Amino acid sequence: MVEFLDNFDEQLSVAYGAALKSGELIFTPSENYKTKETEYQIECEISYAPALAKKPQGILLTVEMDDYPKVDRPSTPVVKKVEKVNPFLPHTPALYITDASEEHKVLLNKFCIVPRHFLVVTKDFQPQTDPLSPGDLMAVWNTLMALRNSDIFSVPFKCINHVILLPNESNTDKSQEDILTEAYITLVDAMLMSIREYSEQENIPEEERLLPTISMSTMLAYNWLLTTEFMMIIPRKREDSDSVNGISLNINSLGFAGMVLAKTSDELQIVKDKGVIALVSETGYSTGWEKRTLEQEQKRKEELIALEKQMANALSSL
């Protein structure tokens, strides 16, 4: 294990306990509801944590005194500017656990509903739209491996579009970085292929037909999942589900692992009425694969073979 993450499990527990005791970390209990959905009986989980509805949303009001107060009243505070706050730059010292690499640090999630919930973040600002680098992949992977003999999270999937299994070290001469990068490149290519298929469908908005023209420099938004067993990428159309009576739910990557968070009773009812998978699908794209002809299926297989060749060329430049 890399030197950055020696005794990581112990460091995580100590930091979590201290931050919780000091009040810098707020643990919110939640009610959890299990469901089984689709013909594959995929297990989903709905977490209900109403206290999180009061959580600060990262908005900072810059308040200054009125330079020209009226004669009949004293100077009063005036809101000059509203801006978003980056909670990681700088981070709260009490939430720091350790470094994951020269470029990455591990921080506790300040508002958590799962004990010891932590984040791997870059030390310098990086746009979230940037593709992940080999260093990013290794930082996350090494953190997962540091917890391999502890509480590792993984979700079994029976029906997903793309799965990459990471082979055991003993079965390959490739480095961990090469394996992770290969998986990531393959999935990004598959994502772009899926978007192209989506754009060729009928009855979609005209602006969505232009999606394939988006280059890697203006990367499509996507959700990314990594466990010790698989990596998954899902292109994202938007962050929130469809609105119901003015209410929508924010869906992050965990939504595609079958887990959704509701912060109000209205949100909880919406999830129960729609179902987790139907709700999550509203944030992504539907390719209509069930309607493909045999010719279209053969064309897709040929494109996948071409992708493998492209991937090999990309890896040769690492």
91's CB contacts (< 8 A; 6+ apart) are 105, 107, 121
The pLDDT, as a whole number, for residue 103 is: 93
Q: For the whole model, what pTM was predicted?
A: 0.73
Rounded to the nearest 5 degrees, what angle is found at the Cα of 28, between the Cα atoms of 22 and 33? 160
Joined together, the tokens standing for residue 142 give 């090494």
Structural domain boundaries in the chain: 1-24+92-152
| pLDDT at res. 174 | 78
First-to-last alpha carbon distance for the chain, in angstroms, is 22
Per-residue confidence (pLDDT) for residue 101, from 0 to 100: 93
Residue 289's H or E segment, with its range, is: none
**Tally: H helices and E strands in the chain:** 6, 13
Cα dihedral across residues 304, 252, 92, 145: positive or negative: negative
Helices 8-22 and 134-146 pack at an angle, to 10 degrees, of 90
Res 266: pLDDT: 97
Neighbouring C-beta atoms of residue 82, cutoff 10 Å:
9
Tokens coding 122: 């870059």
Angle 294-316/176-199 helices, nearest 10 degrees? 140
pLDDT for res 176? 85
Please give the average pLDDT of every successive group of 10 residues along the chain, which has 318 residues. 78 96 94 91 94 69 48 47 64 94 93 92 83 91 79 34 36 78 88 79 69 57 86 89 95 92 97 95 74 67 65 49
Question: Contact, 183 vs 231, CB < 8 A?
Answer: yes
